[in-house]
Structure 1
Amino acid sequence: MLRVVVCGSGIVGLASAYAAAAAGHRVVLVERDGAELPADVTAAWRTWHRPGVPHARQVHSYAVGVVDLLMRLVPGTAPELRGAGAEWLPWTGPVTFPLARHEVLRARRTTLELCLARVVRRSTVEWHRGVRVTSLRVARGPGGTDRVAGVATPAGDLDADLVVDCTGHASRLQDHPAIGADKLFRPSGIQYVTTWFTTGSTGDPVLRGVRSDEGHVYCAATGADHGMVSATAVLAENDPLFRTVMTRPGMIALLSSLPAVDDYLRAARAVPTGRPSASRRVGNSRGALLAENAGRIDGLVAVGDAAVSTNPVLARGIVLGLRQVAHLVDALTGAGSVSEITAGYLARLRDGVLPWFEESTRYDRALSARLARHAGTGRDEPFDPVFEPYDAVAEASRHDPAVASAAIAYGQTIGEPGDLVRQVSRWLARRGPSPTSDRATTTTNRSVVAAAVRLAAPTNSERGQTS
């Protein structure tokens, strides 16, 4: 039995702690947030402050990959979610996967995290809330190798054989001199604006949602638990439209200008609630432990954003984190010594997770360049043809079922990272040169938004009201 300290209790930290305890180890979970768990999902949504979770109230829907991994790693989560009002749908996509479950989960992130936390609280995991890890404790092992001794906190030291870093891409645990490498962050050039609605209509069509790709903006709207619907616009980082859609009238005007989204919200009888919220500094990150020149500390592993994270434009942030938890479980059950566990887990990340980081960076460069061109903020230099397959994913998915299937698998990190590009490249070869440009359509859509915003602009008496 190993002494395991898991640092950070976001979704991936909770899953890591539960899975390590289920494997028979003594687990201590350390979380800097000292607030008690909310009483219910409504309180979690309204009052749960999660400073270390940048997308806590952005859109979250969970497809087959997340559901399959979560139910395998933390099986008690399913009944907890059902009791909390989360919505489950059968998978109706154009492809089936070699998974045990084919279901889609619709729930706000705060709902999922609260339900997962309740399951962990009932387990053998020893949970210390309101405790901040200040540093990693390292000792010399046999043969002069560095090994984990535990972590230091203001409340005292915690001894450990294995420290699991789940503190996100801002982690300080990997700054130890023995690692001697830097973390890497590649900005995506993309920003997100989300607004939420209450609905007067529920059921399958509302829960399944809709997507729109009109050239100047990518938008997704989807149902969640308790009659909530979210709509998120994806914009280039310097798009002047950003300031407009950060107002409720501006965001509603944008959504109304997108026919598919407008029809969906009308059918759902959606009523906006609250102000739009933004996630701006998003991108792809790789922890120092995975740098080519990184030294190794036996007993230190990173999971989730502390190891590898990707821009969530394809909704694969949590599935990628849970896949890392699954790799950790495999390493814990397939090796004997702490040194073997550390080496085995790092090898699994380099082979099975790091390629998604590289692939996502290429996808982001193409997507952000396209959004910037249509927003009028991009440079006039020719578009690099290396990124053409990534740029054409949305168009190809509409015309080729094979590409649509590959895009779904890509978003769920199923298969190989290059599968999607190969499918789109085949479609591009069959299609030949693009016959038309969508610049005129883009200009028209942006003009519609600008006009609608002027009409919907609040009066002076309304500007001081809480939205």
Structure 2
Amino acid sequence: MTERVLIIGAGMAGLFTALALGASGRQVDILERDPPAPDGGADDAFETWNRRGVGHLRHSHAFLARLRKIIVDNHPALLDELKAAGVQELKFADGLNPIAKARYRARPEDAGLTVLTSRRTTLELVLRRYVERMANVTLHSGVNAAGLLGSLDGENRYVVRGLRLEDADGLREEEADLVVDAAGRMSQGFEWLAEAGVSTPEESEDAGILYYTRHYRLRPDQDAPERAAAPAAGDLGYIKYGLFPADNRCFSITLAVPEIEQTLRQAVLKPETFDRICSLLPGIARWTDVERSEPISKVFGMGDLKSRWRDTVVDGRPKALNLFFVGDGLVRTNPLYGRGCSFAAVEAHLLRDVLDAHRRPAARAIAYHDAVSAELRPYYDDMRTQDRSAIRRARNALDPAYRPRAKAKVLKSFGEDAVTIALRSDPDLIREFMRGFHMLEPSSAWLKRPANLAKVMGAWATPKSAKASLYPPRLGPDRSEMFGTLNLSATADAERLGLAA
């Protein structure tokens, strides 16, 4: 008997779930509250597509190597369609700085470190059209999930048998064997469980940062600048920045500002201020030069960023049966690490494997929980640790009385004088590091290998004078210089927080 699956949401998580489960032969219905996608191409989607439930629709996006591997291994025709639509493949060698590039020797495994990058609207449009053509998948637009159908069993587990739906014709009930909540951070699934008397544990904390993105297009007679010594991504403490090549001669720049930097947060939303900041960042300025490119969007802001981990199995006991969560509704991450889409794709394909391997609802719930925890929890914990550290650093930077302790000084030196130096000069070490970045192995695995650690410690032991040429160039102005150039008060936030001297 073919199982019927209802998926809430046709965002990235819902589409990857349909891709995985539809290919396994199940009957899949995707329920999307927004109108259908536009009929045109990539530019039409970028300019006109309205996705109320996707606040980051026009922020920078990339598919990490782990996600690309899922596509290559399971859906190669989709990769062809993405590239045909203009989605770029950035290869391992493309990201090497000039020092490492001069020492680079290609290896077969480098192909597995390729990134897919484009505007989010292009990625989602191509993925949606591909999924809609699958024989046993149907996407229903203008349909809102209004609640769960189900009841508590003798073990106080909520047994789901379908959904309450609302569309232009009113309310109705739809039964199914399985329900997948892929509604993203606006998901109501856990609230519905709570209303039914089922409590579930949740960890949540602020990411401590806000995002601002603007899109640009290269002028007809201009090409993208070649990689130079100044990187196109960096961290100045009071601001982080990154450039993302996109489809059809477009690219985007994202500026990430610590939540505590209120003055800069308010200013960066102005297009003229955004562009002025870009002109002061050596790795970005060559791209945004008015002779090379022109803006094609306003500045998009994104806040309320949280890290969140939810569980539907506690102490080996499922809280719900026949109900699964995929995407931000289950695990929500700081977009800084670019793992949201990858997490969702991994979860979707883990769910497929679990459903194929188990028939009993309780066994499926437990196996999915265990698989997600094993695969993704290490990346989540690492991200949360880094976010907490960044929040502390941002506050300390505003405090005139702050003096770093000895441990902080040692850790700073280890990062700047050891790790950074070793990675800038050794393409083999960069390759090892990138495997963790791309979720092909745990983030810290590379540094635990004796040979890699020896290289890092060797770089740390080398006198600064002997490695002077390996330090990265200045990434941009310091905080006082930037604020002065932008005519902003460099002390207003410290005064607001009572930190001013």
Per the normalisation by structure 2, the TM-score is 0.79
2:148 counterpart SS class: strand
| Superimposed CA distance per residue, residues 414-461 of structure 1 (whole angstroms, 9 cap, x where no aligned partner) | 2124436758987479737999xxxxx899533443344349xxxxxx
Which is further off, 407-416 or 224-233?
407-416
How many percent identity over aligned positions? 22
- The corresponding residue for 1:191 is 210
Tell me, yes or no, if the aligned pair for 1:2 and 1:25 is still in contact at 8 Å. yes
> Match for 2:320 among 297, 315, 330?
297
| Superimposed CA distance per residue, residues 20-55 of structure 1 (whole angstroms, 9 cap, x where no aligned partner) | 111111111111113444422111101111222222
> Match for 1:117 among 128, 132, 140?
128
Tell me, yes or no, if the aligned pair for 1:148 and 1:298 is still in contact at 8 Å. yes
Structure 1 position 62 matched with structure 2 position 56: no
> Match for 1:139 among 132, 136, 151?
151
- The corresponding residue for 2:389 is 366
Q: Could you say if the C-alpha distance between residues 330 and 210 of structure 1 is closer, same or farther in structure 2, counting changes exceeding 3 Å?
A: same
- The corresponding residue for 2:232 is 210
- CA drift of 1:230 comes to 0.9
- CA drift of 1:148 comes to 1.6
| Structure 1 residue identity aligned to 2:175 | D
Tell me, yes or no, if the aligned pair for 2:38 and 2:48 is still in contact at 8 Å. no
1:370 counterpart SS class: helix
Q: Could you say if the C-alpha distance between residues 174 and 244 of structure 1 is closer, same or farther in structure 2, counting changes exceeding 3 Å?
A: same
Q: Could you say if the C-alpha distance between residues 9 and 391 of structure 1 is closer, same or farther in structure 2, counting changes exceeding 3 Å?
A: farther
- The corresponding residue for 2:53 is 52
| Structure 2 residue identity aligned to 1:446 | R
Q: Could you say if the C-alpha distance between residues 192 and 433 of structure 1 is closer, same or farther in structure 2, counting changes exceeding 3 Å?
A: farther
Tell me, yes or no, if the aligned pair for 2:9 and 2:32 is still in contact at 8 Å. yes
Structure 1 position 412 matched with structure 2 position 469: no
Unmatched runs of 5 consecutive residues or more in structure 2: 97-105, 465-473, 489-501
Q: How does 1:9-158 map to 2 (within 5 A)?
A: 9-92=10-93, 101-123=112-134, 124-139=136-151, 146-154=158-166, 155-158=171-174
Tell me, yes or no, if the aligned pair for 1:68 and 1:99 is still in contact at 8 Å. no
Q: Could you say if the C-alpha distance between residues 394 and 87 of structure 1 is closer, same or farther in structure 2, counting changes exceeding 3 Å?
A: farther
1:193 counterpart SS class: strand
Structure 1 position 446 matched with structure 2 position 468: no
2:164 counterpart SS class: strand
Structure 1 position 166 matched with structure 2 position 173: no
| Residue-pair matches, total | 451
| Structure 2 residue identity aligned to 1:153 | L
The structure having more radius of gyration, on CA atoms, is 2
| Structure 2 residue identity aligned to 1:128 | H
Tell me, yes or no, if the aligned pair for 1:202 and 1:268 is still in contact at 8 Å. no
Structure 1 position 272 matched with structure 2 position 305: no
| Structure 1 residue identity aligned to 2:271 | R
> Match for 2:199 among 161, 176, 180?
180
- CA drift of 1:169 comes to 2.9
| Superimposed CA distance per residue, residues 36-76 of structure 1 (whole angstroms, 9 cap, x where no aligned partner) | 44422111101111222222111112332221123334433
| Superimposed CA distance per residue, residues 111-136 of structure 1 (whole angstroms, 9 cap, x where no aligned partner) | 00000000111112122211111111
Unmatched runs of 5 consecutive residues or more in structure 1: 436-440, 456-467
Structure 1 position 325 matched with structure 2 position 338: no
Q: How does 1:221-260 map to 2 (within 5 A)?
A: 221-239=243-261, 240-260=263-283
1:413 counterpart SS class: coil
Tell me, yes or no, if the aligned pair for 1:367 and 1:391 is still in contact at 8 Å. no
| Structure 1 residue identity aligned to 2:120 | R
Q: Could you say if the C-alpha distance between residues 161 and 217 of structure 1 is closer, same or farther in structure 2, counting changes exceeding 3 Å?
A: same
- The corresponding residue for 1:308 is 331
Tell me, yes or no, if the aligned pair for 1:35 and 1:129 is still in contact at 8 Å. yes
Structure 1 position 431 matched with structure 2 position 460: yes
- CA drift of 1:242 comes to 1.5
Q: Could you say if the C-alpha distance between residues 2 and 142 of structure 1 is closer, same or farther in structure 2, counting changes exceeding 3 Å?
A: farther
- Distance in 2 separating the partners of 1:23 and 1:265: 45
- The corresponding residue for 1:461 is none
| Superimposed CA distance per residue, residues 221-278 of structure 1 (whole angstroms, 9 cap, x where no aligned partner) | 1221111121111221021211221111211221122222223444981223332111
Per the normalisation by structure 1, the TM-score is 0.84
- Distance in 1 separating the partners of 2:331 and 2:32: 20
- CA drift of 1:91 comes to 3.2
- Distance in 2 separating the partners of 1:337 and 1:99: 41
Which is further off, 24-33 or 380-389?
380-389
- CA drift of 1:379 comes to 8.6
| Superimposed CA distance per residue, residues 281-322 of structure 1 (whole angstroms, 9 cap, x where no aligned partner) | 212111242666974212111111111121121212211221
Tell me, yes or no, if the aligned pair for 1:238 and 1:377 is still in contact at 8 Å. no
- The corresponding residue for 2:493 is none
- Distance in 1 separating the partners of 2:85 and 2:267: 35
- CA drift of 1:149 comes to 0.8
Tell me, yes or no, if the aligned pair for 2:217 and 2:294 is still in contact at 8 Å. yes
Tell me, yes or no, if the aligned pair for 1:363 and 1:387 is still in contact at 8 Å. no
| Superimposed CA distance per residue, residues 170-217 of structure 1 (whole angstroms, 9 cap, x where no aligned partner) | 3211231454124332111111111221212335848xx821233432
- CA drift of 1:325 comes to 1.4
Q: Could you say if the C-alpha distance between residues 29 and 442 of structure 1 is closer, same or farther in structure 2, counting changes exceeding 3 Å?
A: closer
- Distance in 2 separating the partners of 1:149 and 1:340: 17
